[in-house]
Structure formats: C-alpha cells, structure tokens
A and B are shown apart, each in its own frame.
Chain A
C-alpha cells in the first residue's frame, strides 16, 4: 500500500518576484491537521496489530503555483478547501504582486510511505471494507 497525505502542518504562503521569495504567512489547516492525526492513529493501530509494516517513507514539498490572487482564490473556491485564508494575507500578497511580475507559492509538506501487509494474508492485496 502506498499512503500519500499531507504532513500535519499549516501550509506556507510565499510570493516570488524575480529572484526574491518572501514568506507572507500560512494557511490555517487546523481542520485537515486534526483529520491527519486521526488517520495516522488508525494506521498506527493497524501496524500495532501486526497487519501492516511500514517499509519506506519520504517527506517532500508539494507546491501550488498561482499566477495571481484572483486565480488562486477561484481555485480554492472550486476545490471547496477547508483551509482558512486570512484576508490580511490576501491583501499582502496583492500588494507584493503589484510591485512586479511574480507568482504565489503555497508550500505544503507531503508525506508518503509504503506499507506491506504482513504474513497471514496473500501477497496480493485485497481491500476489504471495514464496518459492521
């Protein structure tokens, strides 16, 4: 199994103009972070029960690039994101981008790991629904 999910951290918002990149603030990803911790707890219990073993893992930057604020906001609206964006950050981004051609970077840390089902089940994974 390959599990890819965000690290439980607030994504950083940066503005790059030419060679200069400035961090402007962070998204409030509290809603996602709570879910991530809950999901990780479930995976931890599966490993504790001896059903899966973590093999390899990696943390990486996962970056959204947006050319302008309105495009970025429209994208967020379209995706119905639960992260909260402070309007003061939006205004600061607009202010910076008004100084020259640039872009918005939203930097999220991603986490990926492979998990192997342990002996007692067939090598070929089947997804069995949980529940009552």
Chain B
C-alpha cells in the first residue's frame, strides 16, 4: 500500500524532450525530496539541488541513488541564501516551485 507519483513517467519524458541534460551543470530550485532530480541527474555533469525545507533535503540525502551520488549536491536554502559558484550553470530548473 502506498503512494506513487507519476509512475507513467510522463514528467520524465517531458523533461528530456525539452532539455538535453547530457554533461550539463544544473541547478534545481525547489528540489524537495529529490523526486524530480532522479529523473535527469544521471545524465548531468553536476547538479546543485536546493530547497528551503530541511526535512525534505534530509529525505533526499537518504533516498539518493548510488548512481548519482557523485553528481548531485543537495543544500538547504534558496538562491539568495546559498553561495552559488561564479561560473554559473548550463541549466536552471524551477522545480514545481514557481
């Protein structure tokens, strides 16, 4: 018994249809527990995933697949509170956080 979000994979198809994540440096704003992060992170070069909710970030750390551990960094905060690298990113994602 449980809850599953988008087992149809529609969101994943849309993401990859709109963006080529291969070898990109990505910042994801509003990552929550990483639910959407897992859908593209394996293809990226790096992912900085931000969310102001500390509990969700902790959940994301706990659930992070081994395949993306070297790629994804989760941080609690937002773009104003987190120190972002000067070199910027190739892709910025506003993740269900508009």
Which residues from chain A sit less than 8 Å from chain B, CB to CB?
Answer: 1-6, 35-36, 39-40, 43, 56, 58, 60-68, 71-72, 75, 110, 112-114, 122, 124-127, 129-131
Which residues from chain B sit less than 8 Å from chain A, CB to CB?
Answer: 1-8, 10-11, 14-15, 17-19, 27, 29, 36, 79-80, 84, 86-98
- Nearest CB on B from A2, distance (A): 5
Question: Judging by beta carbons under 8 Å apart, are B91 and A1 in contact?
Answer: yes
- Nearest CB on B from A53, distance (A): 14
Provide the residues of chain B in CB contact with A126, threshold 8 Å: 84, 86, 88-89
Residue in chain B with minimal CB distance to A64? B5
CA distance A127 to B92 in the complex (A): 8
CA distance A54 to B84 in the complex (A): 24
Q: Given A61-B10, A71-B3, A125-B92, does the pair A112, B97 have CB atoms closer than 8 Å?
A: no
